[in-house]
Amino acid sequence: MLESIVVAAIVLAAAAFLFNKWRKTTSPKKGCGGNCDCHKTKL
Amino acid sequence: MKHIALIGNPNTGKTSLFNCLTGMRQRVGNYPGVTVEKKLGTAYLADGPATMIDLPGAYSLSASSLDERVAVDVLSGHLPGIERPDIVVCVIDATNLKRNLFLAMQIAELGIPMVIALNLWDALEQRGLSIDIVELEKRLGVPIVATVGRKGIGISELRDAISKAATQERCLAPMTWPAEVNEAVNNIHCAADGHTAVPLTDMEVRRLLFDANSAVLDRVQSNHEKVRASISEGRENLRKLGLNPMAAEAVLCYKHLDKLLEGVIKQAGDAPNGPDGTESIDKLMLHRFAGLLIFAAMMYVVFQAVYSWAGPLMDLVDGLKGWVQGIVGGWLEPWPMMSSLMTDGIIEGVGAFAIFLPQILILFFFIALLEDTGYMARAAFLMDKLFGWCGLNGKSFVPMLSGYACAIPGILATRTIEDPKARMVTILVTPLMSCSARLPVYVLLIGAFVEPKYGPWAAGLALFVMHIVGLLVAVPAAYILTKFVIKTKPQPFLLEMPSYRLPRMQDVLFRMWMAGKEFVIRAGTIILAITVIVWALLYFPRPAGLEDEVTKEFYAEHIEPNPASASLLDDPDSELSVELSNTIDAAYINQSFMARIGKAIQPVFAPAGFDWKITVGVVASFPAREVIISTLGVIYSLGGDVDEESPDLMTTLSNATWKEGPRAGTPIFTLPVVFAIMVFFALCQQCGATLAVMAKEIGWKWVAGSFVFQTSIAWLGAVLVYQLGTAILS
């Protein structure tokens, strides 16, 4: 029983890590690096 | 804290100076595009720490490319989150004083205190030349320090000069413009007055006058026509003076610099072979036929070395993996599920991936070596003709060359390309370059199937060929995109050839260290997490009666015809026991969630010769292509295929056979299948991080198109290779 719980926790942790990584990668970062319209107008 | 900006033309050794001043190491490259993003560090000066920003290399402040715009933004204080610098350190190539001072003269108009670092001083001395620094300081009015960034010479003097410049506030005197220019500037000011959020400075107005498509015009909120009319009028007045408005700034500035530099550069000795032998070497390296041959030979040697040097180190990592597996397996013996997760899952999967660390280190050793010697710029020059044919130019080759290490810096390096359409095409084709994540896939398959049959030379050749497959598709793809889809116009290609120099071993080793670190971090994070998920999908479900059912069938097949052999099952190491255990493992994996997914998708990949296990590997690799290694490791380990006879993944794959169907008993991995897998991986867009970066640069619509295109072409390529290969070999 304990073994199953530990294994399930490890698998869930891995899934949560991957989900978080995916969310971070696809969400826009702060700062545009000079590549957006707002930036263009400020130049 | 003071803010210091470091700016200069590309290839002036700016990044080396930045590293020396801040102690923060960066990649030191010889071609434009290395420093594309802003980089910050802390410089410790006599009067305390200061924030230092390394700006992208720029020839002028006309901001025609994105990275030049970032430089202009920082200097004018328009970049959000970055304060306007208190001091500018202008890095100047001492061997190219006049042309480099053009940028300094433009910065002078911003009125920021300046220090000039005359870098590459050693190259100047090699040419038998000298610059009268005292006289030049007097004429320019700012402190000047001779430096050699790569050797750390003149750094403490530069630190002192920056500290003093902050208190003395010495600015470079801007040049005096003719009355016609001043009049045009006044007229444009009047026309734009009240139509910008913040009034334009004289320097910004001069950009409107001198640049063909100035970004400053975007700041004029309304009344564009009146502003445009005053710009046209100003340009007409310049024409009356006999000046082409687009070239007027350069002509006037160089005239000013001619006077300013009179008698400052002196002959100090003899320069026997022109500038440090570079020209003589380039006669051969840039020759239209010999140059290309040398380039191809050099790449072949690199891949041959990557392939053959890594063997002993790979054995070491493999031995370590087996040792850890033995120890952990022993500890966890009472808990079979946990033991399987650790040994068949995590250690097998991550270990199968980590084994390729030596190849990555060797590849980056050569990339750093070629960059530091100055050869990469020559490679871009050689490729200009080929790229001109497909509507791009050598400037697009630089990001694509970076793509051989990783597509992400390659895509970011496209910011040096002025034409947005050419930039878009370059971004779309850069992921086709064979990045270092593909290397483990190639090495695994070539090592298992090409080398044992055809020897190490053929293996090196196969590795080389796999690295040009992407380029062979990229060139016609770029042709179609530039001619029919995005329709670019031919762009001129200007590239400065840095002098050849001996690479600095610290920089080369540092590149290797960074690449190795990145690889290990990836193995310990993304690869580890995906491995755990893949293991779970392969391990579950575990139906209660399956083992009994399989054992019963095994008895009926093997023991009942020969009852005496039953005693063999008491010995766990006997052949029969191992076979029973493998049969049970194979039965579990065959009904796992992953097997069901793989078998459902397998018909799509059947024309390429893939079985369900390869299909699972391919599907699991869409977030990151190197995942196939760990996935295959886990599949074959869980399926009971890894044993004493097949201790590593390479041997396991070579022994794998079809278990059912018309091909039962024949090897799964035939040569056509192996090359089909490699071609699929060479062409497919299997990198989540690259897709995200591309989306930020060009938007999701284009990314979706690129993903569909690359996946389709990869599938088509794999099918073609398999079908043709099978037809030829049979």
Q: What is the DSSP string of B99-117?
A: HHHHHHHHHHTTT--EEEE
Q: Which amino acid is at B371?
A: E
Which of residues B637 and B616 earns the better pLDDT score?
B616
Confidence (pLDDT) at B445: 93
Of A25, A31, A42, which has the smallest distance from its Cβ to B688's Cβ? A25
Confidence (pLDDT) at B275: 53
Interatomic CA distance for residues B319 and B316, integer angstroms: 5
Using DSSP, state whether B50 is helix, strand or coil.
Answer: strand
Q: Answer whether residue B436 is part of any domain.
A: no
Confidence (pLDDT) at B195: 75
Confidence (pLDDT) at B640: 66
Domain co-membership, B247 together with B99: no
Parallel, antiparallel or unpaired: strands B114-119 and B87-93: parallel
User: Would you say B663 and B611 are in contact if contact means Cβ atoms under 8 Å apart?
Assistant: no
Residue A9 vs residues A12, A23, B240, B407, B705: alpha-carbon distances, Å: 5, 21, 79, 34, 38
- The 10s digit of each residue's pLDDT in A1-43 is 889 999 999 999 999 998 998 887 666 544 444 444 433 322 2
Contact call for B66 and A43, based on CB within 8 A = no
Q: Answer whether residue B228 is part of any domain.
A: yes
Q: Residues B300-326: what's their mean pLDDT?
A: 85
- The 10s digit of each residue's pLDDT in B201-231 is 888 888 888 887 666 766 666 667 788 888 8
Contacts of B337 in chain A (CB under 8 A): 3-4, 7
Contacts of B71 in chain A (CB under 8 A): none
Domain co-membership, B20 together with B74: yes
Place of tokens 């320069």: B271
Q: In sequence order, what are the beta bridge partners of B274?
A: B272
Give the count of beta carbons closer than 10 Å to the beta carbon of residue B558.
17
Domain co-membership, B123 together with B31: yes
Of all helices (H) and strands (E), which one includes residue B43? strand B39-45
Residue in B65, B66, B346, B532 to test binding to A, most A beta-carbons within 10 Å: B532
Q: Answer whether residue B67 is part of any domain.
A: yes
SS3 annotation, B672-709: HHHHHHHHHHHHCCCEHHHHHHHHHHHCHHHHHHHHHH
Domain co-membership, B100 together with B210: no
Domain co-membership, B160 together with B232: no
**Does the structure show a pLDDT above 50 at B31?**
no
Domain count, chain B: 3
**Distance, in angstroms, between A5 CA and closest chain B CA?**
10
Which of residues B273 and A24 earns the better pLDDT score?
A24
B43 phi and psi, to 5 degrees? -100, 130
Contact call for A35 and B692, based on CB within 8 A = no
- Burial class of B225 by CB neighbour count within 10 A (0 to 12, 13 to 18, 19+): exposed
- The 10s digit of each residue's pLDDT in B124-168 is 888 888 999 999 999 999 999 999 988 889 999 999 999 888 788
* Domain range list for chain A: 2-42
Which residue of A lies nearest to B525 if distances are taken between CA atoms?
A17
Confidence (pLDDT) at B691: 87
Interatomic CA distance for residues B216 and A40, integer angstroms: 8
Q: Answer whether residue B89 is part of any domain.
A: yes
Contact call for B216 and A39, based on CB within 8 A = no
What one-character DSSP code corresponds to residue B564? G
Q: Output Rg (C-alpha) for chain B, integer angstroms.
A: 31
Domain co-membership, B100 together with B126: yes
- Burial class of B376 by CB neighbour count within 10 A (0 to 12, 13 to 18, 19+): buried
**Does the structure show a pLDDT above 60 at B65?**
yes
User: Would you say B123 and B95 are in contact if contact means Cβ atoms under 8 Å apart?
Assistant: yes
Domain co-membership, B101 together with B244: no
Contact call for B528 and A11, based on CB within 8 A = no
Q: Which two tokens stand for residue B179?
A: 């009355």
B420 phi and psi, to 5 degrees? -60, -30
Q: Which residues of B408-425 are buried (b: 16+ CB within 10 A; e: fewer)?
A: bbbbbbbbbbbbebbbbb
User: Would you say B228 and B260 are in contact if contact means Cβ atoms under 8 Å apart?
Assistant: no
Place of tokens 């493998």: B582
Given B265, B286, B312, which residue is the final one in a domain? B265
- The 10s digit of each residue's pLDDT in B678-721 is 999 999 999 888 887 788 778 888 999 999 999 999 999 999 99
Contacts of B530 in chain A (CB under 8 A): 14, 18
Q: Which residues of B628-642 are buried (b: 16+ CB within 10 A; e: fewer)?
A: bbbbbbbbbbbbbbb
Domain co-membership, B223 together with B126: no
Give the count of beta carbons closer than 10 Å to the beta carbon of residue B620.
26
Q: Confidence band (pLDDT; 50, 70, 90) for B607?
A: very high
User: Which CATH number fits the domain that encloses residue B76?
Assistant: 3.40.50.300
Using DSSP, state whether B556 is helix, strand or coil.
Answer: helix
Which residue of A lies nearest to B691 if distances are taken between CA atoms?
A26
Which residue of A lies nearest to B692 if distances are taken between CA atoms?
A26
> What percent of chain B has a predicted confidence (pLDDT) above 90?
32
Contact call for B78 and A42, based on CB within 8 A = yes
Q: Residues B634-640: what's their mean pLDDT?
A: 78
Which residue of B lies nearest to A14 if distances are taken between CA atoms?
B529
Q: Which two tokens stand for residue B344?
A: 């068949």
Kindly report the length of chain A: 43
User: Would you say B467 and B434 are in contact if contact means Cβ atoms under 8 Å apart?
Assistant: yes
Contact call for A42 and B216, based on CB within 8 A = no
Q: Confidence band (pLDDT; 50, 70, 90) for B37?
A: low
Interior angle at CA A31, CA A27 and CA A35, nearest 5: 95
Confidence (pLDDT) at B28: 38
What one-character DSSP code corresponds to residue A14? H
Confidence (pLDDT) at B558: 84
Q: Residues B253-262: what's their mean pLDDT?
A: 92
- The boundaries of the domain holding residue B109 are 2-168
> What percent of chain B has a predicted confidence (pLDDT) above 70?
93
Domain co-membership, B12 together with B85: yes
Using DSSP, state whether B625 is helix, strand or coil.
Answer: coil
Q: Answer whether residue B185 is part of any domain.
A: yes
Of B530, B536, B689, which has the smallest distance from its Cβ to A25's Cβ? B689
Using DSSP, state whether B5 is helix, strand or coil.
Answer: strand
- The 10s digit of each residue's pLDDT in B489-539 is 777 777 778 778 888 788 788 878 888 888 888 888 888 998 899 899 989
User: Would you say B55 and B5 are in contact if contact means Cβ atoms under 8 Å apart?
Assistant: yes
- The 10s digit of each residue's pLDDT in B373-426 is 888 888 888 888 778 888 887 778 878 877 887 888 788 778 777 788 888 999
**Distance, in angstroms, between A43 CA and closest chain B CA?**
6
Domain co-membership, B205 together with B107: no
Of all helices (H) and strands (E), which one includes residue B589? helix B575-590
CA nearest to B19, candidates B169, B142, B119, B96: B119
Confidence (pLDDT) at B215: 66
Complex confidence, ipTM: 0.78
Q: Which amino acid is at B356?
A: F
Of B63, B337, B415, which has the smallest distance from its Cβ to A4's Cβ? B337
Domain co-membership, B154 together with B214: no
Q: Residues B552-566: what's their mean pLDDT?
A: 87
Confidence (pLDDT) at B548: 93
**Distance, in angstroms, between A19 CA and closest chain B CA?**
10
Given B147, B168, B189, which residue is the final one in a domain? B168
Q: Residues B643-648: what's their mean pLDDT?
A: 58
Of all helices (H) and strands (E), which one includes residue B53? strand B48-54
Q: Residues B550-556: what's their mean pLDDT?
A: 90
Interatomic CA distance for residues B458 and B163, integer angstroms: 59
Given B137, B168, B199, which residue is the final one in a domain? B168
Domain co-membership, B134 together with B74: yes
Interatomic CA distance for residues A22 and B691, integer angstroms: 11
Average pLDDT value over all residues in chain B:
85
Give the count of beta carbons closer than 10 Å to the beta carbon of residue B183.
14
What one-character DSSP code corresponds to residue B154? T
Residue in A1, A6, A11 to test binding to B, most B beta-carbons within 10 Å: A11
- The 10s digit of each residue's pLDDT in B663-688 is 888 999 999 999 999 999 999 999 88
Confidence (pLDDT) at B179: 87
Q: Confidence band (pLDDT; 50, 70, 90) for B641?
A: low
Q: Which amino acid is at B556?
A: A
